[in-house]
Amino acid sequence: MAEVPTYRTPEVITPTRDFLDKMEEMWSDPPGIIGWLSTVDHKKIGRRYLVTAFLFLFVGGLEALIMRLQLAQPNEHMVGPHLYNQLFSMHGTTMIFLYALPILSGFSNFLWPLILGTRDMAFPRLNMFTYWTFLLAGAFMYIGFPTGQGTDVGWFNYVPLAGPMYNPGPGVDIFSLGMIFLGISTTAGAINFIATMFRTRAPGMSISRVPIMIWGTLVANIGILFAVPAVSLDFFLLWLDRRFGTDFFNVSGGGHPLLWQHLFWIFGHPWVYAIVLPAMSIVSQCLPVHCRRPLVANSAVILATILTMVLGFGVWVHHMFATGLPVIAMGFFSAASFVIVIPSAVSVFAWVATIWTGRPVFTTAFKFFAAEIILFVIGGVSGFMTAAVPLDWQLTDTYFVVAHIHYVLIGINVFPVIGGIYHWFPKFAGKMLNEKLGWWNFWLMFIGFNVGFFPMHISGLLGMPRRIYTYPAGLGWGDLNLVTTIGAFLFALGVLVFIVNVVVTLLTGKRAPANPWDGDTLEWSTSSPPPHYNFGVIPHVGSLHPLWEDRLEKSEGRTILHEGLKLDEEHEIPGTTILDAEADVILKMPGKSFAPLIMALLISGVFIGMLLEWWWISGAAMCAMFPALLYWFWPSAEVGRSPKESRA
């Protein structure tokens, strides 16, 4: 067996047509189902994330529409209380866990390597694993719903209602195990993003030249690393309470129901930032392109993003003001919740200043980003209001809070996401979305959203509690709810126009040029859609705006795109240093592999066994993980981990 060389001096070349053809061949997957199941291509994974998360949005939206029909008038009985409870629980769970973060993972998976000027994520197989586990965990969380066994205690699943005494059915078990399952996917994804940021940026992309979208997602994923364990543990302890009679939340055994709420919200509030900071960074990245100037106060926005996440770990108790905590605790957390407004506002002022001092082009994408600013301000103010303890006591568990959460999550997540899809569709699919349909899409969604959700503030102030399946006439809520229902359907119509636009564009749209919006970052330097290898030679980055260097007055350096290191022996990318991004290693990336799918299926087996209490299934699946991981991590020369040529 030959020894593999441990050092190489890569040449600097200008890629030729033949070279690029060879790269395309090397980086593409085999055709058919084999290629589909074993691919580790970050672009395919990103697209799958986008499509799957959008399907969950669609399902969660249908659940919402049924609820809105039910609430349109007093005393309606289209669905009974039991189904209604499942509808709002599944709606919340779906939107918050199966749509809001996965859709952002879709963007990041697809775009990160392109923006960072490289060819793949740091851990390609782990990347594929996160998608399979997300898909399987999502399916797992839905297995009870079609048969009327869905979880019915709301997405934050408070004990003792969710405990064994009041909720013996399988719904909460499915939800609990599903959340732990999904947590594996989310955590693995976070690890991958962080390693990618710190290890695989193009040479020259020093820490001050990292585009803002990377920062938003990075910060969110560092938060995820420390927040998700709280909720996974919380659900695991609940599952032990339910299935083994432990006493974590059981008062008679020395447990405490507030432990559930603490652990849940220690996760829950950072999670809010995990699902809005990347979306805000999509706005920070794209809005300036449509305003024809760099983002105002780029560094301040990055620092504010980091500060928001840090503070986000210290405000969880504001979800628990009504639980009878000591005044000193409430005072501290109320103050922290007020303080977090400051870094949040930095982004808003930066965006407004960018529009103000730029030359905005009123594309559909621009409209969505501009609308996000307005909705963020409204949602931010209603959040600021409930940071005050006395007001929160009045408003908690009313529709005011429902209005707030939807302004925040639809306003700062869905609007940037749709805008981002208009912006990056040339990269995702190689086509330009139709701007005429985009006009209808935007105005239907924007008007529908405000007509639907703004009145909820008022019905909340009038005392309408959340999570009621119907209400008597004569309370003055009927007209407001009718308006809300009409708005919700208008909003849904807008989403439908979006889907039509995507389908029509995929079928008949015109091909997109490489850089249709005249963007500034590296993803626009490759073709639309990008080739399998992303970049023929790895770019050498000279500034924060690689494609705008000619026109910006003070550009610190020059980015070199036409020539670079020849890295063409299987899947190779340069590894770079953390701060200066100097190339210090040639990383060998793994190619197609079934290991991620096998591991994801084995983990599904563990959870199915736990749910059915068929312990031998869980045990067998766990034992099988050892050979599966041995196969996954086998040190081969192909991935640069063995001195020997032999393969696994």
77: which residues sit within 8 A by CB, 6+ positions away? 470
**Smallest separation, CB 561 to other proteins (Å):** 10
CA distance 199 to 214: 13
Q: Which ranges of 292-317 would DSSP assign to H, the alpha helix?
A: 298-312
End-to-end CA distance of the chain: 14
Nearer to other proteins, 256 or 532 (CB): 256
Tell me whether residue 488 or residue 537 sits nearer to other proteins (CB atom). 537
Cα angle: 113, vertex 117, 122; to 5 degrees: 40
Please, what is the minimum distance in Å from the beta carbon of residue 93 to other proteins? 21
Query: Nearest approach, Cβ of 19 to other proteins (angstroms)?
Result: 15
Q: How far is the CB of 256 from other proteins (least distance, A)?
A: 5
Closer residue to other proteins in complex, CB, 152/638: 638
Angstrom distances, CA of residue 120 to CA of 213, 291, 518: 17, 30, 24
Q: How many CB atoms lie within 10 A of CB 612?
A: 12
Q: What length is written for the chain? A: 648
Least separation in angstroms between CB 459 and other proteins = 36
Cβ within 8 Å of residue 157, ≥6 positions away: 151, 172, 175, 176, 235, 238, 260, 264
DSSP 8-state assignment for residue 142: T
Shortest separation between residue 313's beta carbon and other proteins, angstroms: 11
Return the number of the residue (248 or 453) whose C-beta is nearest other proteins.
248
**CA within 13 Å, CB half, 574:** 29
Give me the least distance between CB of 195 and other proteins, in Å please.
Answer: 4
**Residue 3, SS3 per DSSP:** strand
Toward other proteins, which CB reaches closer, 448 or 591? 591
Nearer to other proteins, 259 or 345 (CB): 259
CB 363 within 8 A of CB 291: no
Looking at the Cβ atoms of 11 and 25, the one nearer to other proteins is 11
Q: Minimal distance in Å, beta carbon 633 to other proteins?
A: 7
3-state class (DSSP) for residue 211: coil
Which of residues 68 and 262 has its CB atom nearest to other proteins in the complex? 262
| Residue 198 or 454 having the CB closest to other proteins | 198
Pick between residue 255 and residue 609 the one whose CB is nearest to other proteins.
Answer: 255
As beta bridge partners, residue 398 has 465
Distance separating alpha carbons of residues 43 and 529, to the nearest angstrom: 10
Q: For residues 260 and 524, which CB has a smaller minimum distance to other proteins in the complex?
A: 260
What is the nearest approach in angstroms of other proteins to the Cβ of residue 181? 15
Q: Would you say 408 and 276 are in contact if contact means Cβ atoms under 8 Å apart?
A: yes
The CA distance from 365 to 115, in Å, is: 19
Residue 528's contacts (CB-CB under 8 Å, 6 or more residues apart) are 426, 427, 430, 511, 512, 513, 514, 516
DSSP state of 529: S
CA distance 132 to 140: 12
Confirm if 596 and 128 have CB atoms less than 8 A apart: yes
Closest distance between other proteins and the C-beta of residue 180, in Å?
A: 11
CB of 558 to other proteins, least distance (A): 9
Structure tokens at 420: 């981002």
Amino acid at 409: L
| Token pair of 240 as six digits | 């032990």
